[in-house]
Amino acid sequence: MTDDTALILMIVLPFIGSLAALMLPTKARNAAAVLAAAASFTCLGFAVMFYPSVLGRGVVRSDIEWLPTLGLDFTLRMDGFAWLFAMLISGIGFLVVIYARYYMAPEDPVPRFFSFFLAFMGSMLGVVISGNLILLVVFWELTSIFSFLLIGYWHHNASARDGARMALTITGIGGIGLLAGFLLIGHAVGSYDLDRVLASGDLIRSHDLYVPILVLVLLGGVTKSAQFPFHFWLPNAMAAPTPVSAYLHSATMVKAGVFLLARLWPVLAGTYEWFWIVGFAGMMSFVLGAYFAIFQRDIKGLLAYSTISHLGLITLLLSLGSPLGAVAAIFHMMNHATFKASLFMAAGIIDHETGTRDMQRLGGLFRVMPYTATLAMVASAAMAGVPLLNGFLSKEMFFAEAIETHADSILDTAAPYAAVLG
C-alpha cells in the first residue's frame, strides 16, 4: 500500500465506519463496538506505518484536484507533528471505544453513539493531516458538529442539551473567525497550501494584516481549547457521557486549538503581539482554571477546570516564542492527554459503581475498587507533576523556560511564579 492510499484511507475509514454503525439495529451494541474498535485500530495501524517516512523531518503528501478554479487541492500532509497527533487520536480513540462498550447502559442506542464517535475521529484526523488551510477549516467545523452530537447524546437530559448548544455556539463563532484569518493568510501569501504558508513566516509577520490574522486565528484556537475568556463552555459539557469527556475533553477536541497554535507557531510566533495576546490568554486560563478547580465537588467538574488550566499552561509555553518552549508545549499536550483521559475514565467507573460523582460523598474506595484507585492515583500523580512521571518532565521544562525567557516585562516575573503554583 502506498503512502498516498494510506493517508486517504486514514480519513475515509472512520466515516465509512460511522455510516455502517448508523445502519445497525439499536440493540446491536457488540457489533457496533467491534466495528468502532476495528476502524480506530486500523487507523492506528496506518499511523504507525508512517513512522519511517516522517522520521528525520520527512513529509508525506497526497494531492487530489478539488476546486481547480479556486486553486484549491484536497491535500493531505503527514509530518512528525501531525503523526504525533494521529497516533494520539487513533490510539486513545481505540481505548475509549473498548471502555465505552462496557460503560454505556443497555438501554442506550449504542450504534448511534459509535457512529458519532467515529465521525468525530475522522474529523479530528482530518484537522491534523490537512495540507490545505481551507480543508483544515472544513474538518475543524465537522469536529464542532459531531462534538455537539456527542455532548448532547443523552438528549433527554436538559443539561446535556444546553451544554451541547453552548459548545457548538462558542466553537462555531471561533470557526468563523478562523476561516476569516485563513482567508487573510491566503491573501498575504498567495496560497492556502500549508507548506507554502509555513515557509512564509517572515512575510506574514511583516505584513500589514499580521495583527488581524493573529487575532482571528487565536479566536479559533482559544474557543476550541476553552481558553479565557471562552473557557466556560467546557464545564457545561461535562453532562456528556464519560467516554465523550475522556476522548473529546482531554485528548482530542480541546487539543485542536493548541494544535493549531503550535502548527502555525513558525509563522505567527516571535512578535510582541504574539507574546502578549497569547501569553495573556494562557496565563488567565492557567490561573483561573486551577482556582475554580479547587472549589468543585463534582469529579468531572474538577477535571474540566483542570483541563482549562493545563491547556493554559500549554498556551503560555507557546507564547514564550522559544523553540524549547514550543517543544515543551507539545510534550505536555501528549502527557496531558494520557493522564487526563485516564482520570476521566476512572471518574466514569466511580460514577457507574457508586451512582455519584460528589467527592464529599465518596470515601474508602481503595478497599472496594483497588484497581481503579491505583490507576487514579498514578494518573493524579502524573497530573501533579510528581517526579519520575511524565507530567513532571513537561512541567519542569515549563519552569525552566519561564525562568530563562527574558521579555523585559511583568510577565517575565509572573511566569516563574505561575510555574511554581501550577
**pLDDT at residue number 421:** 59
Strand partners, 301: none
**pLDDT at residue number 418:** 62
pLDDT in tens, 307-339: 999 999 999 999 988 888 899 999 999 999 999
**pLDDT at residue number 240:** 92
Answer for the pair 155, 175: CB distance below 8 angstroms, yes or no.
no
Answer for the pair 77, 86: CB distance below 8 angstroms, yes or no.
no
End-to-end CA distance of the chain: 46
One-character DSSP codes across 113-143 = HHHHHHHHHHHHHHHHHB-BHHHHHHHHHHH
> pLDDT (tens digit, 0 to 9) for every residue of the chain, 422 residues total?
787 888 999 999 999 999 999 999 988 889 999 999 999 999 999 999 999 989 878 899 988 888 877 778 899 999 999 999 999 999 999 999 999 999 998 888 999 999 999 999 999 999 999 999 999 999 999 999 999 999 999 988 899 999 999 999 999 999 999 999 999 999 999 999 999 999 999 999 999 999 999 999 999 999 999 999 999 999 999 999 999 999 998 888 999 999 999 999 999 998 999 999 999 999 999 999 999 999 999 999 999 999 999 999 999 999 988 888 899 999 999 999 999 999 999 999 999 888 888 888 888 888 999 999 999 999 999 999 898 888 888 888 887 887 776 555 555 666 666 656 55
**pLDDT at residue number 403:** 73
**pLDDT at residue number 413:** 62
Answer for the pair 364, 374: CB distance below 8 angstroms, yes or no.
no
**pLDDT at residue number 391:** 86
Q: Is 227 exposed, middle or buried (0-12, 13-18, 19+ CB in 10 A)?
A: buried
**pLDDT at residue number 32:** 95
How many Å apart are CA 397 and CA 420, to the nearest integer?
12
Question: CB neighbours of 207 closer than 8 A, spacing ≥ 6?
Answer: 188, 213
How many Å apart are CA 388 and CA 133, to the nearest integer?
39
**pLDDT at residue number 315:** 95
> Model pTM greater than 0.75?
yes
C-alpha distance from residue 85 to each of 56, 247, 263 (Å):
17, 13, 11
How many Å apart are CA 360 and CA 363, to the nearest integer?
8
**pLDDT at residue number 415:** 61
How many Å apart are CA 73 and CA 82, to the nearest integer?
19
**pLDDT at residue number 407:** 53
Report how many helices (DSSP H) and strands (DSSP E) the chain contains, helices first. 21, 2
**For residue 229, cis peptide bond before it (omega within 30 degrees of 0):** yes
Q: At what angle do helices 253-263 and 210-224 cross, to 10 degrees?
A: 160
**pLDDT at residue number 250:** 83
How many Å apart are CA 164 and CA 144, to the nearest integer?
10
Answer for the pair 129, 54: CB distance below 8 angstroms, yes or no.
no
C-alpha distance from residue 104 to each of 108, 138, 212, 302 (Å):
6, 30, 45, 22
